[in-house]
A and B are shown apart, each in its own frame.
Chain A
């Protein structure tokens, strides 16, 4: 690809990325000011704002959103940092690390359903202590999930966000020379946790700032997780807005749009407030860092956080194990800790539905992720070529984050209007296009490091030996980048499977996936069927992650074995060729 081509392509992809963002924003902001031609509203007014502020539910939803949306990232960050400080380089930590990938791969809804099975009054946590300790013969009348304070939602968010932050931090350890800094610091007489607090965490923060912002925006705007395990009297703002957008009274759509603009502002102000708090904290602790004190009372905060972090990981694993148990349970009365009878009937009864949902889910996830991989490679090649000449930070690096930082609710409803104009609503292409907006950033970010670090000399040498640049690009560069490509595919695939709102809004109910159906049925009480759906929802990404880790190291060996077998079996192959293979 020549440089001129690469610039042209970069501009085109930049436009493609910017277009839905602009449409989504315009489609949210204009109805907020009562301008919405599809409903015959051509006059700007502030009516929707006055209606919004007069809704009591808005204020209580906003309060709840702020509590859960800010509380969860703070706690997740504390636990992730504590776990890292406690366990980094310890052999047991390697075992904990191996738990991260499956938890990351599993969609939020599946985890939320698992937690529901674990924490609800008739959940497994109460069962194992009943009746011998609690004396309960019936489930207690507790509100341990969907509680009005959003505590169960905060916990579910932590279960999802803490492993993600830990994963991001672990991949940054080399760049801050953590091992060497710990050695030098400990040789100076510092305790391990003090070193993390004074030396490593301040260096780590700028690197994880962006993933942290993504976590904050996600916590403030999440819908599927909040629908399953969050409170509903009132619900979080995002869930309330979803209900208003779907209200049969179309006038509520204007109020919902105004609410969506507020949610965007909440994200902006929360991120600004977070950053200011960080600056203030850095300023206040700066003198303490170099006061020579080799240990401090705040080290206990990290120690306690590490304990809570391990406990959280343990509960996550138990919650995930409950999914298959419910799927195969025939008779499971309270307070039995395990089913008294097992069956395959739950799966066979749900087989036709599960087949349809799985087919839809896998088709959407596979096509979306393949498109995201292709687009990411184009974008990265374009970025690589322009990086040496002009920019250090490419336009893609700014645009790519916008969809994941904006609240899906509102933004997607804005895009839905465009889909209706284009007569694409309820179409598979529309679902894939909306999924792509959320899959692309993760695939791009996963591939970015390895792709840009690739030693171009291999490709240049290949082109000198055999001037077929495109063929060499695939057979040399992409072949050598197999491991990150497979990992990026697995991450994109799991992100696509987890999508709830994009499927719901673009599909208009005509295409259901395992995620949309699991969320819809979570409150139905049929734990066996919901368990089966959540199990499949969790199983597919884990399978793809496992393949992504297992295939690349064996790929060449298997490819050569297949080639050799093919040559042996082929009747047209000459004896000389066969001998060469031997």
Chain B
């Protein structure tokens, strides 16, 4: 379970988010919605350990009751999926998947896992293809499986469907949800689209702009 306790976000002297707390169970997706500039993506950055230096934030991050907010990004075991699939263009699809699999695994097992992922994607014949030879939907799926192959403890999704056309969106959403449930890890989705949020079949949190009067 991923928990955030008493999260507060400042941009300089301006408070963006005040005292936000939530829990996400394994296999569940919490969707965060709200207007642009409210601090949704900064919340993801805080969780992943990449908050921009001009922002400041406090709050406790607990993963299975263990605090992780003091850990570096590398040791947090967080999976991050962004708007752009960010498949490395100088590597083949297979190499992109292998890149994510931990090195401690025997070589044979690593190759087997990558192959299984390709089969799952229906891209077994495209192992040696480069990223730009895949469609947008295929790239999004490869990006998700690459993230999951690194065996993250939780997943952060930063509007990963926003660049896909409506028909493709439905398919990719279903694929993502199925994979999260299969991996049984908590996930946090940031989106502007109510359909994205409802497709994830989990709780939804609608962030409102912070105003001191609201608090009072």
With an 8 A cutoff between CB atoms, is A191 at the interface?
Answer: yes
With an 8 A cutoff between CB atoms, is B86 at the interface?
Answer: yes
Given the known interface contacts A180-B82, A289-B95, the answer about A203 and B74 at a Cβ–Cβ threshold of 8 Å is no
A291, B147: Cα distance in complex, Å: 16
B101–A183 touching, CB < 8 Å: no
Chain B residue with the shortest CB-CB distance to A94: B53
B79–A187 touching, CB < 8 Å: yes
B53–A91 touching, CB < 8 Å: yes
Chain B residue with the shortest CB-CB distance to A202: B90
With an 8 A cutoff between CB atoms, is A467 at the interface?
Answer: no
A161, B82: Cα distance in complex, Å: 36
A181–B95 touching, CB < 8 Å: no
Q: Which of B48, B150, B152 contacts A183 (CB 8 A)?
A: B48
Chain A residue with the shortest CB-CB distance to B50: A183
A289–B99 touching, CB < 8 Å: yes
A292–B98 touching, CB < 8 Å: yes
A183, B77: Cα distance in complex, Å: 12
Distance between B107 CB and nearest chain A CB, rounded to angstroms: 8
Best-surrounded residue of B82, B90, B146 (most CB of chain A within 10 A): B90
A187–B86 touching, CB < 8 Å: no
Chain A residues positioned under 8 Å from B103 (CB to CB): 291-294
A180–B84 touching, CB < 8 Å: yes
Chain A residues positioned under 8 Å from B48 (CB to CB): 183, 187
B74–A186 touching, CB < 8 Å: yes
A186–B90 touching, CB < 8 Å: no
Chain B 72-98 per-residue mask, 1 if CB under 8 angstroms from chain A, else 0: 011111111010101011110011101
A188–B86 touching, CB < 8 Å: no
Chain A residues positioned under 8 Å from B146 (CB to CB): 188
Chain A residues positioned under 8 Å from B78 (CB to CB): 187
A294–B99 touching, CB < 8 Å: no
A289–B91 touching, CB < 8 Å: yes
With an 8 A cutoff between CB atoms, is B216 at the interface?
Answer: no
A188–B50 touching, CB < 8 Å: no
A203–B88 touching, CB < 8 Å: yes
Chain B residues positioned under 8 Å from A202 (CB to CB): 90
Chain A residues positioned under 8 Å from B98 (CB to CB): 290-292
Chain B residues positioned under 8 Å from A183 (CB to CB): 48, 50, 73, 80, 82
Chain A 402-438 per-residue mask, 1 if CB under 8 angstroms from chain B, else 0: 0000000000000000000000000000000000000
Chain A 168-206 per-residue mask, 1 if CB under 8 angstroms from chain B, else 0: 000000000100110110111111000000110011000
A198, B77: Cα distance in complex, Å: 20
A290–B91 touching, CB < 8 Å: yes
Chain A interface, >50% SS class = helix
Given the known interface contacts A181-B86, A184-B80, A203-B90, the answer about A294 and B74 at a Cβ–Cβ threshold of 8 Å is yes
With an 8 A cutoff between CB atoms, is B102 at the interface?
Answer: yes
With an 8 A cutoff between CB atoms, is B38 at the interface?
Answer: no
Distance between A89 CB and nearest chain B CB, rounded to angstroms: 8
A293, B107: Cα distance in complex, Å: 12
Chain A residues positioned under 8 Å from B99 (CB to CB): 188, 198, 289-290, 292
Chain B residues positioned under 8 Å from A289 (CB to CB): 91, 95, 99
A191, B73: Cα distance in complex, Å: 9
Distance between B139 CB and nearest chain A CB, rounded to angstroms: 13
Chain A residues positioned under 8 Å from B49 (CB to CB): 186
CB contact list, A126-180 vs B, under 8 A = 177, 180
Chain A residues positioned under 8 Å from B88 (CB to CB): 181, 199, 203
A184–B74 touching, CB < 8 Å: no
A177, B89: Cα distance in complex, Å: 11
A187, B53: Cα distance in complex, Å: 18
Chain B residue with the shortest CB-CB distance to A180: B86
Q: Which of A203, A290, A293 contacts B89 (CB 8 A)?
A: A203
With an 8 A cutoff between CB atoms, is B40 at the interface?
Answer: no
A191, B88: Cα distance in complex, Å: 16
With an 8 A cutoff between CB atoms, is B105 at the interface?
Answer: yes
Q: Which of A203, A290, A294 contacts B95 (CB 8 A)?
A: A290
B150–A189 touching, CB < 8 Å: yes
With an 8 A cutoff between CB atoms, is B100 at the interface?
Answer: yes
A278, B176: Cα distance in complex, Å: 39
A187–B91 touching, CB < 8 Å: no
A186–B73 touching, CB < 8 Å: yes
Chain B 187-199 per-residue mask, 1 if CB under 8 angstroms from chain A, else 0: 0000000000000
With an 8 A cutoff between CB atoms, is B110 at the interface?
Answer: yes
Q: Which of A177, A187, A190, A191 contacts B80 (CB 8 A)?
A: A187
Chain A residues positioned under 8 Å from B80 (CB to CB): 183-184, 187
A91, B52: Cα distance in complex, Å: 11
A202, B89: Cα distance in complex, Å: 10
A181, B143: Cα distance in complex, Å: 12
B100–A188 touching, CB < 8 Å: yes
Q: Which of A177, A190, A198, A292 contacts B84 (CB 8 A)?
A: A177
Distance between A203 CB and nearest chain B CB, rounded to angstroms: 5
Chain B residue with the shortest CB-CB distance to A177: B86
Chain A 278-303 per-residue mask, 1 if CB under 8 angstroms from chain B, else 0: 00000000100111111000000000
Distance between B97 CB and nearest chain A CB, rounded to angstroms: 8
Chain A residues positioned under 8 Å from B76 (CB to CB): 187
A294, B100: Cα distance in complex, Å: 9
Q: Which of B74, B77, B90, B102 contacts A292 (CB 8 A)?
A: B102
Distance between B23 CB and nearest chain A CB, rounded to angstroms: 21
Q: Which of B74, B84, B91, B110 contacts A189 (CB 8 A)?
A: B74
Chain B 110-127 per-residue mask, 1 if CB under 8 angstroms from chain A, else 0: 100000000000000000
A137, B170: Cα distance in complex, Å: 81
Chain B residue with the shortest CB-CB distance to A192: B74
A203, B89: Cα distance in complex, Å: 8
Chain A residue with the shortest CB-CB distance to B110: A292
Distance between B72 CB and nearest chain A CB, rounded to angstroms: 8
A339, B152: Cα distance in complex, Å: 63
A202, B91: Cα distance in complex, Å: 10
B50–A186 touching, CB < 8 Å: yes
A180, B47: Cα distance in complex, Å: 15
Chain B residues positioned under 8 Å from A290 (CB to CB): 91, 94-96, 98-99
Best-surrounded residue of A91, A181, A186, A286 (most CB of chain B within 10 A): A186
Chain B residue with the shortest CB-CB distance to A204: B90
A579, B156: Cα distance in complex, Å: 58
A222, B131: Cα distance in complex, Å: 42
Best-surrounded residue of A91, A189, A294 (most CB of chain B within 10 A): A189
Given the known interface contacts A189-B77, A291-B98, the answer about A184 and B90 at a Cβ–Cβ threshold of 8 Å is no
Distance between A190 CB and nearest chain B CB, rounded to angstroms: 7
A191–B74 touching, CB < 8 Å: yes
Chain A residues positioned under 8 Å from B50 (CB to CB): 183, 186
Chain B residues positioned under 8 Å from A286 (CB to CB): 95
A187–B95 touching, CB < 8 Å: no
Interface CB pairs A-B, < 8 A, 6: A183-B50, A184-B147, A290-B91, A291-B98, A291-B103, A294-B74
List the 10 closest A-B pairs by CB distance, nearest first.
A292-B103, A290-B98, A290-B95, A187-B80, A186-B73, A188-B150, A293-B103, A202-B90, A290-B99, A292-B101
Further 13 A-B residue pairs, CB within 8 A, beyond A188-B99, A189-B150: A180-B86, A183-B80, A183-B82, A184-B86, A186-B49, A187-B78, A188-B146, A198-B99, A202-B90, A290-B99, A291-B98, A292-B100, A292-B105
